[in-house]
Amino acid sequence: MGTKNKQLIEKLSRRNFLRNSIVASAGIAALPSLLTGCGDDDDSDPFVPAGVEGSDFGFLQGVASFDPTQNQVVLWSRYTPDANETTDPSIILDVATDADFAEGSVVASETVQIDVNSDYTIIVDLANLSSNTVYYYRFRNDVTGVTSVIGQTKTLPGSGEATEVKLAVVSCANFQAGLFNVYGAVAASEADIVVHLGDYIYEYGSGPTTYGTDANGTDTVALGREHDPSGEIVTVDAYRARYRQYRGDEQLQEAHRLKPFICVWDDHEIANDAFQDGAENHDDSEGSFEVRKANAFQVWHEYLPARVTDNSIIYRNFEIGDIVNLIMLDTRIIGREEQLNYLNYLQSDGSLDANAFLVDWLSPTRTILGITQKSWVTDQLTSNTASWQVLGSQVLMAKYQIPTELLTITAQIAAGDTSEATLVAYNTLVTDLVTIKARIELSDPTVTDEEKARVETVLPYNLDAWDGYPVERDEILAAAAQAGKKLISIAGDTHNAWYAEHSLTDLGTGQKSKVGAEFATASVSSPGFEGIFGTDPNVLGGFEQANVALIDDLKYADASQRGYLLTTFTAGEATADWRYVSQLSTVDDSATSGNMATES
């Protein structure tokens, strides 16, 4: 890393983005600023309140809350000044336990400053709150008479204050790929908290902006949701413009208005398939990756503030009553080594040099977390006393490994080869392998050793997930198991829904034991396997069934629907409810349950 680039990251790491701090005591009298009203109604006033037709200033990106604890929550908004405002706007934040901000319910009314150097965002870490309590908040500018919408948030329950915890888990929202109906469904849900596992924005330039296909595969519904800016984003200004576009979406604004969010980044907040020192979607023509990463980090914290002291380190935990210890990870940037690629192990005859691959894949030093984060996670898993240890992982953590002879043809299809001949060959091979697997499970004595080897010799197909870092994964799982902890991982990234068991195999006896489970959410809008296999339900259903049959730890898969995951935790049970919306072409926030699973 060059000296200049290193200094950029160090400068970013030292920056304290939580620019305002209000120490509020519940029940204090409203300050005079609250009693002055929301502006002059004189017709000569040149300012038009935000939300009125024709307004181009005010709190246009809505309001939001982040990182709740038992006594704190981070409140957010952004103010667009009017051309007539000649000085930096001064904003008042009101917080109350009553939605009408009745006298006696107000716990804070303070002037806060907009950070003009952070895209006019307002970030306030409100402290000294009561646990397990709903609060209402608004931002206002007395000079212009503009008031934001009223936001609602809630602090976390303390010990003994809750018997269940509901988390809505979301991931992968591509603005161009479809309407954000999933966010609308989350806003209407019974979730206490929204856990966003990344890909909140996408870095790509303008692309297809239609949704839906007819029988011939032709796009049918024009959405007109082109990315702004039109090119790929690299600079601070470009990242900011993209976040403003996403936060202008009404359904996303409503989810933020009603629910506190806990967020981590994945790769598209920076660049596709990112790792510590680079990304698949970054090349020398785009300048220094370290500079791009610093730009992305800065803007992420402006729009998705996390209560951290170092903006490059976002892993942190949230203790929710006695029930859940939510351990939010950074499996994408802070410690991740570059992903392995099967193409680098192909021999001249096109076969895989398995020995060379296995040496690298099974290296005991290979890491997705980095040494410091790994130590922190292990300490959390072994020392925390909550009923459930819940790992918030950007990428799939369970073992999703397929017979090795499927790898080549799967790679062909993933690369876009969906010709009839390729799909027929895939179906033939899968049918053959599933038949062998079924015979083994039925204890068919005619199954040969060669047939067993065909289905039992497996490798991961997704080396970007924890499957690309197997030794470290097993160390984390073993730490939880040895401490006797009940473990659930929640994950996103793949655009599809999964339910799998976490397992460990004793190297001495070969005995496999279950040590937890994974609930992985479908995407908000980014296309899943239907983008590869098409929308024929018979084809997709066959693909889902084949994966469940051939992947030992996999119990459920949905390859084509968009939605979110509602997880409910009690002291004794963890329940996953995969909820799906019907379409993304017109506004419709209704969602239906597609599958449920329970762990105890």
What is the maximum span of the chain, computed from C-alpha positions, in angstroms? 91
DSSP code per residue over 50-103: TTSTT--SBSTT-EEEE---SS-EEEEEE-B--TT--S--EEEEEEESSTT--T
Domain map of the chain by residue range?
A: 16-155, 342-599
| Token digits of residue 343 | 């193409």
The DSSP code for 340 is: P
- The CATH number that domain 16-155 falls under is 2.60.40.380
- CA geometry: angle 523, 524, 527, nearest 5 deg: 55
Beta carbons of 224 and 209 less than 8 angstroms apart: yes
pLDDT score for 21: 59
pTM here is: 0.93
Domain 342-599 class, CATH top level: alpha beta
Q: Which residues pair with 514 in a beta bridge?
A: 503
Q: What is the pLDDT along the chain (600 residues), one digit of tens a residue?
A: 454 444 544 444 434 445 565 554 443 333 433 333 333 344 333 333 444 444 689 999 999 999 999 999 999 999 999 888 878 888 999 999 999 999 999 999 999 988 889 999 999 999 999 999 999 999 999 888 999 999 999 999 999 999 999 999 999 999 999 999 999 999 999 999 999 999 999 999 998 666 665 545 555 677 889 999 999 999 999 999 999 999 999 999 999 999 999 999 999 999 999 999 999 999 999 999 999 999 999 999 999 999 999 999 999 999 999 999 999 999 999 999 999 999 999 999 988 999 999 999 999 999 999 999 999 999 999 999 999 999 999 999 999 999 999 998 988 888 888 888 998 999 999 999 999 999 999 999 999 999 999 999 999 999 999 999 999 999 999 999 999 999 999 999 999 999 999 999 998 898 999 999 999 999 999 999 988 888 889 889 999 999 999 999 999 999 999 999 999 999 999 999 999 999 999 999 999 999 999 999
The secondary element (H helix, E strand) that includes residue 263 is: strand 260-263
Residue 503's alpha-carbon distances to 456, 482, 519, 566, in angstroms, are 16, 13, 14, 23
pLDDT score for 85: 85
The secondary element (H helix, E strand) that includes residue 437 is: helix 420-441
Beta carbons of 521 and 565 less than 8 angstroms apart: yes
Contacts of 153 (CB under 8 A, 6+ apart): 65, 68, 73, 75, 134, 135, 137, 259, 260
pLDDT score for 224: 85
DSSP E strand stretches across 82-222: 90-96, 106-113, 121-127, 134-141, 146-147, 151-154, 165-170, 193-196, 210-213, 219-222
pLDDT score for 219: 59
> Cβ atoms within 10 A of the Cβ of 29, count?
11
| Token digits of residue 295 | 């730009």
